[in-house]
Amino acid sequence: MLDHIDITVKDLNQSKKFYKELLSVLGINEFSEDVYGVKFYDKKDYIWIGQGIPKRFHFAFSAQDKKQVDDFYQLALEVGGKSIGEPESQKDDYYSCYILDLDGYLLEAVYRNKD
């Protein structure tokens, strides 16, 4: 269902410590860092935490194929969503679109070609 989630926090170092300890209980011990934030991951799913205000939430939903991404995009526009990224390939194996929902939350539908 969910592919990944992005959030922003007030104190990145404090949240990194919190999530590192908390997620280890679930067996999620892998993480990577860059100048933008920290990514905790388990196989292909991940949560990304970065510092920033206002708080940002980004929900990426897994699609079964490119058509499902296209359908998600079209329906989102029909029911009041706002496009901030039409369906397109970002990498050879990553096809997605970006929508803001009615409250401004970032929604993404993503198809990952595993061939």
Question: Is this prediction's pTM over 0.85?
Answer: no
Q: What is the DSSP string of 48-88?
A: EEEE-SS--EEEEEE-SSHHHHHHHHHHHHHTT-EEEEEEE
CA dist 103 and 63 (Å) reads: 23
Which comes out higher in pLDDT, residue 97 or 30?
97
* 62 and 77 belong to one structural domain: yes
Please tell me the total count of domains within the chain.
2
Provide the edge-to-edge strand list for the sheet that holds 30-34.
Answer: 30-34, 37-42, 45-51, 2-9, 57-62, 106-112, 94-100, 82-91
* 42 and 61 belong to one structural domain: no
The residue segments making up the domain with residue 80 are: 57-112
In terms of C-beta density within 10 A (0-12 exposed, 13-18 middle, 19 or more buried), how is residue 68 classed?
A: middle
* 6 and 35 belong to one structural domain: yes
* 69 and 37 belong to one structural domain: no
> Given this model, what pLDDT does residue 21 score?
87
- pLDDT tens-digit profile of 81-114? 999 999 999 888 899 999 998 878 889 999 998 7
- pLDDT tens-digit profile of 64-87? 999 999 999 999 999 999 999 999
